[in-house]
Structure 1
Amino acid sequence: KVFFTFMGINLACKGGLEKARFIPPGVMGAVPGMSAIATGMMKKKIDKAQIPTLPELMEMAQLEGVELIVCKMTFDMMEINEDDLVEGSVVWTAEDFIRYAKECKICLFI
């Protein structure tokens, strides 16, 4: 299971993975245009290394049974509709996730 909240929730929305951007750390991330440049550079590195794209990785994860869980509070706050979510996503409260996470061996919180 992967729990998506705050800005990470965009990755669980249709088209969100294609819009994902790489933001350089520190001051460079605040420079106008740096995110676009850094994203382009990362995409080239990923392609050169023959690493699957984010949408391909998400599809592979779902085929392997990974469940996409969206934070209800963020879902409501950002006024997202269930139709906007990637197919197979479910909405949980933070309490539901914490209850689950305390019992699991590996926890991924995005």
Structure 2
Amino acid sequence: MSDHEKIKKVSIIISKGTLEGVYPGLIMANGARMAGIEVNVFFTFFGLDAITKKKMNNLKVDTVGNPALGFPTLIAALPGMSSFVTKKMKQQMEELDIPPVPEFIEMISDAGGKIYACLATVEMFKLKKEDFCDQLDGILTVGEFYELSAGGQIIFT
């Protein structure tokens, strides 16, 4: 593969605040950094939970309406089901040495990846810069995110 065909920059948008919504983007961002690819991760809507200090340790698996789990909706909606599935998933990830969300964010940042929050969503949820983890590089408008992403690939997870 010639140099002009290699991906040099990737911008990943994370919009969901569940474990299964956040991890694909984090894994892709970390993998890109390990391959020497410039990475911007843009968190919007409930994806902000992954970088909000009060919520980033408490993300859960969404069991209702998640056909990949194979549970009928009635079973998936039972009290405690989301907590049970979340606990099992976290145990499996720990066995596979997949870091928890805060550690993953830190790894990506330490490797040179950039972490951004969506200004419109921050304002909508009435959040402030101090509500976010220390790795936050900035709060951007969508236009600023597109400018930052120019010349690269954009992935929406």
- Bin for the TM-score computed over the shorter chain: 0.7 to 0.9
Mapped to 2, the partners of 1:23 and 1:46 lie a distance apart of 16
Instruction: For 2:92, give the aligned amino acid.
Output: K
Q: How many residues are matched?
A: 109
Structure 1 unaligned regions, length at least 5: none
Distance 1:49-1:3 versus aligned 2 partners, 3 A rule: same
Match of 2:55 among 16, 30, 46: 16
Write 1 or 2 for the structure with the bigger share of strand.
2
Radius of gyration: which is bigger?
Answer: 2
Q: CA deviation at 1:65?
A: 1.1
Query: In the TM superposition, what are the counterparts of 1:52-91 in structure 2 within 5 Å?
Result: 52-89=99-136, 90-91=138-139
Mapped to 2, the partners of 1:59 and 1:108 lie a distance apart of 20
- Paired residues of 1:72 and 1:93 also in contact (CA < 8 A): yes
For 2:82, what is the secondary structure of its paired residue?
helix
Mapped to 1, the partners of 2:94 and 2:59 lie a distance apart of 16
Write 1 or 2 for the structure with the bigger share of helix.
1
Mapped to 2, the partners of 1:100 and 1:30 lie a distance apart of 40
Query: In the TM superposition, what are the counterparts of 1:33-52 in structure 2 within 5 Å?
Result: 33-52=80-99
Q: Which residue matches 2:140? A: 92
Mapped to 2, the partners of 1:96 and 1:81 lie a distance apart of 18
Mapped to 1, the partners of 2:155 and 2:48 lie a distance apart of 13
Mapped to 2, the partners of 1:50 and 1:96 lie a distance apart of 35
For 1:18, what is the secondary structure of its paired residue?
coil
The TM-score normalised by the length of structure 1 is: 0.85
Is it true that 1:7 corresponds to 2:54 in the alignment?
no
Task: Name the % identity.
Answer: 27
- Paired residues of 1:2 and 1:109 also in contact (CA < 8 A): no
Which of the pair has the greater relative contact order for Cα pairs under 8 Å at 6+ separation?
1
